[in-house]
Structures are given as C-alpha cells and as structure tokens.
Structure 1
Amino acid sequence: MKLSPTDLKELAQYAREAAQLAGAVIMTYANKKVEILTKSTGSSEASQVLTEVDLRCEKLILDHLDDSVRKYNLAVLSEEQEDDKQRLIKEAFWCIDPIDGTLAFTQARPGYSVSIALVSKTGKSLIGVVYDPVKDRMYSAITEQGLYLNGQAWRPENELRTEQLTLPCDRSLLKRPDFPDIHKAIDQWRTNKGLTQINEIHHCGAVMNAIQALENPPACYFKPPKKEDGGGSLWDFAATACICSEAGAFVCDYKGQVLELNKADSTFMNQNGVIFSTEKELVAVIQSLYSG
C-alpha cells in the first residue's frame, strides 16, 4: 500500500516511542559491566561487538512496532536478525539498529544511540528516528515533512556555526594507511576557509557520528569505499540519511548519488561508501581522495 503523509506521521510516532523505550532500557545498564559477545559480521571491531542489551532492546523495539508491521504490511530488517529479504518484496520496511555504537556503550562512553528508519522498497529513507539516551535527545524526520528535536521543529543551521572543522571519525578510518593523506587534504580545505583547527571525534558509532556532523557545522563524516564486506550497513545510515537530508545537509555516496538503502545482494554499504557533510565543497574534496 502507498503510504500517505498522515500514515508516515503515525509511523514516525511508533518509531519514536520504540526508540524511547529502548533508550530507557539502555540507561539501566549504563556504566555497568555487561557481557560482551561477538558476531562474525563486518571487518571492524565495532561491527563485531554484541551484548545482551542489544538483544533485549531489539526485542522490545520489534514488539512495539509489531502493530504497525501488521497494519501497513511492512517488512523488518534489524541488525541482530537474519535478513529474510522481505524488504525486497514489500513496499517499505523498518530498518533497526537497537544500539548503534555498542563498542562505545561497553566502554561506558557516550556516542551510542537507538536508530530506527522506515525505508521504501526503492531504497529511499522515508522516516528517520535517532535517540541519544545519554543526552535524552530525540531526533526525528519525515521526508518532505520536516525535522524535529525532542518534538519541536528544528533547523540546525539556525544554531551557531563554529570556527573549526568538525571531523567525526570511525576507528576504521583512523587505521587506513591513507588516512594521513585524507587528513592533509581536509586540513588544506580548512586552512583555505580560515577555520582555526580540525576537531576530531573518535568515540561515536556511525549514527552519532552523522549527528555530530549535523550539529557542529562546518563538518563532515564519511566512510570510503572498500572491497571487503563492511563500511557500515543499512541500519547505520538509513535514519540519519533522512534526518540530515531534511536538515539541508549533503548525503550521498562517493559517486555523488543518493545512498542506495535497499540493495538486493547485501546490507553492507562498502561498495560506494557514504558521505555526510554540511558543506557542498567538502563533498567534492572527499570524493577526490578515493582512487578506487
């Protein structure tokens, strides 16, 4: 069924409620020692960390969204469950990361969040909801219907821009042999723009990295293409793609195309990479650094 603007508003409320419930559970474990499990997905340490809290939150979210799944005949793709490929058949699917930034969570550091998106079969993010339980900040957006922070209409460009360039970095980016060259090129752009310094942020998961970029312009967050599986998955970028796009930021892959959020062959995003940037010029700088 085709989802109307009213339908999307109702579904966004489902997602906000589910994210809030999961966030409350997460905070009961904050700063406590939790059992760390591992999984075989991805190629980075962050992608292989799993805890009992991830599983508990995932079940809670799925239970809360179940009514919407049945009412609107939606598919579900969630990080800790096997992909049943129904996302390729039904008109839209919930895309869920119960705790993005699990590594930061296990280290009792901020940078983790709950991420829930509704994605169309064609791969467009229709709804994006991110809840930061540490700061109690709920970010939500509906495509072409605006952006909200804690329920209030929000335009981040109305907030003060800093005099430094914010660069949220995944650990995997820092470990790349070409990172010094990447950093040098971005630092040259900073110098040309008269910005004072680069403020690197290293402790967040992919979701909060994109949010950090959005909230601290000028800024960029990116993951270069790579051959091996990894580079983040659909659930790492689906919600923030909607949020950042509604905010007027630039969201694309390294070819300058809209993120393809429902590929048939894989949930990984390594083939074409991802870029989130508050500055159009920075997108071109980042794209120029990848030689293939």
Structure 2
Amino acid sequence: MSRGGSFDDSEELLNRLGLMTARARELAATQRSRVELAVELQRGMLPGDLPHPPGISVAVGYTPATHGLNVGGDWYDAFTLPDGRVAMSIGDVQGHNIKAAAFMGQVRVALRALASVTGDPGELLRRTNDLLISLGSDLFATCTFLRLDPVTGILESARAGHIPHIWATADGRSGVSGGDGGPPLGVLPGAEYPVSRHQLTLGGVFVLLTDGVVEGPSLNLDDGLRQVARLAQLAVVAGVGIDGLAEAVMKMADTVGHEDDAAVLVVGHDGGTRGRLLPNAETPQESATQDP
C-alpha cells in the first residue's frame, strides 16, 4: 500500500471517529434532557406545602433515582381533610419511567379527590383501586394511607401491598407496624383493605417509607426496617426532631446501593392535646399507643 493510501485511510478513520464522538455527545445530551424532564415531572407532582395543625408536625425526604430513566415511581402526600383531620399517603408505582410518573400523578390525584368523599383509609383505597382498574392501565401501585386526628392523636391506616411503617415513642420504644393489608392498587377488582388503629402519643413519631429507602443490593428489607426503627428510637429519645429524623433516614437510603427512588414521610406529636389509648387499639409493641 502506498504511503498516500495510508494517509487517506488514517484521515478517513479520524473523520469517522469524529462523527462517532459527536453522535455520542448528542445522545448523551438527549439522555440528560430526558432524565431532567422525568425528574422535573415527578417533582412537579409532589406537594409543595404540608399541613401543620397545632401539636402535629410533618417532614418529608425524597431522592429520585438517577440511573438512566429510572425515575417516576415514588410519591408522598399530606393534606387536610374537610373534617380537620390530616391525611397522609406514600407509595410506589411499578416501573421507573415517564409513564410511571404520569401514573403516579393519577394515583395521587385520585386519592385526594376521593378523600373528599370518604376519609376512611380502607374505603378510600378500595375506591381508588376500583377507579384505577376502570382506567385500564397495565401499571399498579403500592400505597399506605393514614388519617390522623390531631386532637386525640388517633391514627388509622390501611396498606395496599406497601411495606410496613415504623413507630417510636418518647419512652424509648420503637418497632415495625405490619398490620394486615390488601393487594396493590390496580390489580384485583373488589379488593378490601383492613384498617389498623394506632395512637400517636406526645413525643412519638410514625415513619412512612418506600422500599428504595430500606432495600437494595447491600441491605435486605427486614434489616432496613429495623435500622429505621432504631434511628427513630434514637431521634425521639435525643429530641432530634422530625426534620432531623427524615434527613437521617434519607442518608441511610444512600447506603443501600439501590437504583430506585427513595421517599420518607415522618409525622410527629410535639405538643397540644394528648390522646388516650383506644380500647381496641393495637398493643404498644405494635404501635405508638401508650402514654408514659
């Protein structure tokens, strides 16, 4: 081969490498734009303001997944019901893409809309499930919905295939509240969702999570829940406050090695009227139910 031919071949190779590099940069920029769009879409569907009735505080934490387009699945919400009680929900949609983010918005809006008709957690999840099935989507969502009376501290909850929540009391006790639940929303027509009753006592907290906080390659779900229960116990005894507790839980989420969204919602009783133990409430070992 002539020296000229070698020069021409080298020049052609450099041109091809230049085109490939430019194309790679273009694809990277497009992917980055898609991720930013998905993240902003999801963040835009989360509530901007949280209710803070006298004696009750609510804190949240949220981190979107950043691997590819793995965003869009998790949400939290808190709002005041017409009767003055506080509604809270947290959940996780199957899938992690823009479609999942849109479905998450549908679920959250459905819960809010139907809560104006019934605030009972079990009935609300039943109606939401039937509504989602009627829409014919191929996605489903896990969810926990809570209704809290800020005057008495009575808290009612129902779960739709979601992971348990955590409780801790001012006297140093904590645990995982794993009462009966129903199937995920959007799966089984006519599904029922049992309601558990708890009591949030002065200085106590309840912590709602998505599985991205407590489960990943370096941590299994049961160990993750126990670690959060321990964090809640330490935070309550030390008087850290719910904002500090939410921040600590989200820092723990960074260590599980997941590529999933992570969300936490903490509700605490920091003053006001103290509730009295309900005759049919859960035992102190299963719920934040007992006054010192």
TM over 0.5, shorter chain: no
The answer to which structure, 1 or 2, has the higher relative contact order (CA under 8 A, 6+ apart) is 2
Normalising by structure 1, we get a TM-score of: 0.24
- Larger gyration radius, structure 1 or structure 2: 2
Normalising by structure 2, we get a TM-score of: 0.24
